[in-house]
Chains A and B, each alone.
Chain A
Amino acid sequence: MADALWYFARGSGVISLVLLTVVVALGIGARSGRTAFGLPRFAVNLLHRNAALLAVVFLVGHVVGLLFDPYAQLRVFDLVVPFAGNYRPVWQGFGTLAFDLVIAIVVTSLLRHRLGARTWRAVHWLAYLCWPIALLHGLGTGTDNGTAWLWSIAALCAATVLAAVAWRLTPSFTRYPHRADRQVNSRLLPAVAPTSGSTPTPAGAPSPHAGTSPHTGSPTPAGMPGVPEEAR
């Protein structure tokens, strides 16, 4: 019975990894804007969120179980500060790092409407860092790391995420591939001709913000003078 915490921590760790794999795959799939498994887009989105929250529950169980386990002998700051552990500090540190990243991703997602889309997305991209670290942690320090079943689960998880990433990188990933370029703000592109919708400087009109192109006679205009760098 004294081993209960130990077994619980091991099991919940594996379940967290599987759930995080599902979350990453669903997150990538949701980004495609397609329906999946007969579910509408918003349901895929909700499944992604709820699986993530469930993964956090198991992750907290994994971490708290190890904190109180007499065998693991973790200190409280081992849960937050990576690479400071007494036992296999690197592999354990990967787990701590992944835990910190998951907490950061989940908290910023819950506060998404207050943080704004840009900050939220920047932190959310850390998932691509977090998931491999979590996988390494499980394979490196997991007590079951010699067993065939754990390697099978890990291989299956890795194959799932790699397939999703490979799909993400294909040109036909999104629902409307022909409008993918619309996301690029033309003002952020280097030296493009002004398109309709933008306000080019009248030719010959000297502007205090004008660049050097009018003086050199270059066919390319001086971009968009006076446009702040943080456009949009």
Chain B
Amino acid sequence: MSRLHVDWTACDGRGLCAELLPELLAEDDWGYPVPKGDLTVPPALEPAARQAVDRCPALALRLTAVSAERAPASS
């Protein structure tokens, strides 16, 4: 399992991630992504999440590994 991390200081609201991951991200009125949950990436969405990380023009996305027994670090 992995978790998507948004670096909000780097995010420029270009909107690519919300297109690639509509299951996890919505867009607010200014085009910035809004997490729909805790941004835990289910295995089926891993390729899309990796592409979102790769394509982000501001390099504001990161995938972090989350182990099942350890609670995800609060951001």
- Give me the interface of A with B, judged by CB distance under 8 Å: 30-31, 33, 40-42, 45-46, 112-113, 116-117, 120, 175-176, 179, 183, 232
B22-54 interface (Cβ within 8 A of A): 30-31, 51-52, 54
Report whether over half of chain B's contact residues are helix, strand or loop; otherwise say mixed.
Answer: loop
How extensive is the interface on chain B, given as a class?
Answer: 10 to 19
Question: Taking the nearest CB of chain B, how far is it from the CB of A38, in angstroms?
Answer: 13
The answer to whether A41 touches B19, judged by C-beta atoms less than 8 angstroms apart, is yes
| In the assembled complex, B66 has its CB within 8 A of some CB on chain A | no
Since A45-B57, A117-B58 are in contact, a sample of 11 more A-B pairs with Cβ atoms closer than 8 Å, ordered by chain A residue number, is A33-B14, A33-B15, A33-B31, A40-B19, A41-B16, A42-B16, A45-B55, A112-B59, A175-B15, A176-B31, A179-B13
Could you write out 29 A-B pairs with CB less than 8 Å apart? A33-B13, A33-B14, A33-B15, A40-B19, A41-B14, A41-B15, A41-B16, A41-B19, A42-B16, A42-B52, A42-B55, A45-B55, A45-B57, A46-B55, A112-B59, A113-B54, A113-B59, A116-B59, A117-B10, A117-B59, A120-B59, A175-B15, A175-B31, A176-B13, A176-B30, A176-B31, A179-B31, A183-B12, A232-B9
The answer to whether B30 touches A42, judged by C-beta atoms less than 8 angstroms apart, is no
The answer to whether B30 touches A179, judged by C-beta atoms less than 8 angstroms apart, is yes
Query: CA separation between A113 and B51, bound complex, in Å?
Result: 13
Query: CA separation between A41 and B9, bound complex, in Å?
Result: 21
| In the assembled complex, B20 has its CB within 8 A of some CB on chain A | yes
Question: Taking the nearest CB of chain A, how far is it from the CB of B57, in angstroms?
Answer: 7
Query: CA separation between A116 and B12, bound complex, in Å?
Result: 15
Asked, given contacts A112-B59, A113-B59, whether A45 binds B31 with beta carbons under 8 Å apart, the answer is no
The answer to whether A42 touches B59, judged by C-beta atoms less than 8 angstroms apart, is no
Question: Taking the nearest CB of chain A, how far is it from the CB of B8, in angstroms?
Answer: 12
Q: Cβ of B19: which chain A residues have Cβ within 8 Å of it? A: 40-42
Question: Taking the nearest CB of chain A, how far is it from the CB of B5, in angstroms?
Answer: 14
Query: CA separation between A45 and B17, bound complex, in Å?
Result: 12
Q: Cβ of A112: which chain B residues have Cβ within 8 Å of it? A: 59
Interface centre among B9, B19, B51 (most CB of A within 10 A): B19
Nearest chain-B residue to A49 (Cβ)?
B55
Nearest chain-A residue to B52 (Cβ)?
A42
Q: Cβ of A117: which chain B residues have Cβ within 8 Å of it? A: 10, 58-59
